[in-house]
Amino acid sequence: MCFTSKVSIAQSPQPTAPPNGAGELLQLLRDQTPRTRAELAKLTGLARSTVGARVDALLASGLLAPSGEAASTGGRPPVRFAFNPEARVVVGADLGATHGRIALTDLTGRPLCEIGEDLEITDGPEVVLDWVTSTTSKMLDLTGRTAADLIGVGIGLPGPVEHSSGRPMRPPIMPGWDGYDVPAHVSRVFDVPVLVDNDVNIMALGEHAVAHPDVEHLLFVKVATGIGAGIISGGRLHRGAVGAAGDLGHVAAPHAPEVLCSCGNLGCLEAVASGPAITRALAEIGITAGSNADIVDLVRGGNIPAAHAVRQAGRTIGEVLATCVSLLNPSVIVIGGSLAQAGESLIAGVREVVYGRSLPLATSNLQIVAATTGVQAGVIGAATMVIQHALTADRVDLAIASQSAS
């Protein structure tokens, strides 16, 4: 299925120093406001001739396009120019344990085409990544684009990833993937940058880009079969020393029963507050919920014990998040993942404990809200990761230089 999404994504903030190349001038124009050469000269403090040369270079690259005319002050009205998000396309892939979802987006991260299929991550990297490349080719055909239009591929995986190399690191549910060179595999078909990260980090990027673009400090928490967090700090994703930042699932939950976790420890957050933990709690009182979707259906259907179990999971997660609030001082905590679909029960439990346990200063402006991007968070986030990489001033200048040399 291909469709045009109405998602609108804000762009990076404007630089304050005068831009010293076409790439930096583009950063200023990424807010998509059309401007004339004279307006750009005034805004940047650069000479009209300098602005003119940089605008011409960006026009030649396609990244800038004419966008109407300003009012005339006598004579021919001056042309306005704006960032052209259609100039290139990006692929964002979100690979889960049992599903894959890929979007072809424009340069704002807006999906132009999206395909989702059931797939097993346990089939191994060759099968799964061949699906990524063949689906990418299909989406390029469907949208009338070519591989030359593609500026990069972003991939989210359901396990720890060394972002700098794009290799999964001892992922527990991904046999055959440990240390696999994901970028090399994809680059055999598409000779573009391939960036890889874990699924929670890309969801954090997607939710941040779509729903909270101006928020500098945000914590995205995924609550599903596993529990994890993506940390946006100073407007950027914080990955930590080896990409393990935000791995909340195996933090010891305060006051929790000593339930054995899949990692071998007792009382991990994931062992007492994830979907499977709620399923076990409900089974003890004779209620069957075989999947996270069943739990959500029970809560939405007004099942009181299920709503109670989900709210209790929210409280337990809130105990850990209260510590995170003291450490990170976010202004927004977004709760996402399949169990967030259970409505207010989960978030009410989180709020109850976080607001009760944190110091007033840390919570004075803190919002705790549900994710809005749903299943699109991962694909938009994976594309956003590529766009942030490819459209830096330096890389735009390099692309323009190599284009004019060829």
Residues that bind Zn ion (CB under 5 A): 250, 261, 263, 265, 268
| Residue 283 C-beta: closest distance to Zn ion, Å | 20
Which 3 state secondary structure label does DSSP give 221? strand
Q: How far is CA 260 from CA 159, 177, 181, 263, 311, in A?
A: 20, 26, 33, 8, 22
Q: What phi and psi values does residue 71 have, to the nearest 5 degrees?
A: -65, 140
| Shortest Å, Cβ 268 to Zn ion | 3
Rounded least distance, CB 402 to Zn ion, Å: 48
Closest approach, Cβ 219 to Zn ion, in A, equals 20
Sheet holding 79-83, edge to edge: 35-36, 79-83, 64-69
Q: How far is the CB of 247 from Zn ion (least distance, A)?
A: 10
Q: Which residue lies nearer to Zn ion by CB, 263 or 359? A: 263
Shortest CB 256 distance to Zn ion, Å = 11
Cβ-proximal residues to 261 (8 Å cutoff; 6+ apart), any chain:
250, 267, 268, 270, 271
Closer to Zn ion by CB, 242 or 263: give it: 263
Crossing angle for the helix pair 48-61 and 22-29, nearest 10 degrees? 80
Q: How far is the CB of 345 from Zn ion (least distance, A)?
A: 24
Of 69 and 258, nearer to Zn ion (C-beta) is 258
Closest CA to 84 of 396, 378, 404: 396
Residue number with CB closer to Zn ion (13 or 254): 254
Question: Tokens 């021919």 identify what position?
Answer: 76
Cα dihedral 100, 102, 108, 111, rounded to 10, equals -110
Looking at beta carbons only, is 6 or 255 nearer to Zn ion?
255
Q: Is 43 exposed, middle or buried (0-12, 13-18, 19+ CB in 10 A)?
A: middle
In the bound state with Zn ion, the residue whose beta carbon lies nearer, of 253 and 307, is 253
**From the CB of 169, what's the least distance to Zn ion, in Å?**
17
CB-nearer residue toward Zn ion: 76 or 255: 255
CA distances from 6 to 80, 166, 373 (A): 25, 31, 12
When the beta carbons of 221 and 368 are compared against Zn ion, the nearer one is: 221
Beta-bridge partners for 162? 167
Identify which of 254, 278, 269 has the alpha carbon closest to the alpha carbon of residue 357. 254
Q: Which is nearer to Zn ion, 178 or 247 (CB)?
A: 247
- Shortest gap between Cβ of 277 and Zn ion (angstroms)? 11
Give the closest residue to 96 by CA, choosing from 390, 378, 362, 300.
378
What are the C-alpha distances in Å from 252 to residues 18, 45, 314, 320? 49, 54, 15, 8
Phi, psi dihedrals of residue 352, rounded to the nearest 5°: -50, -45
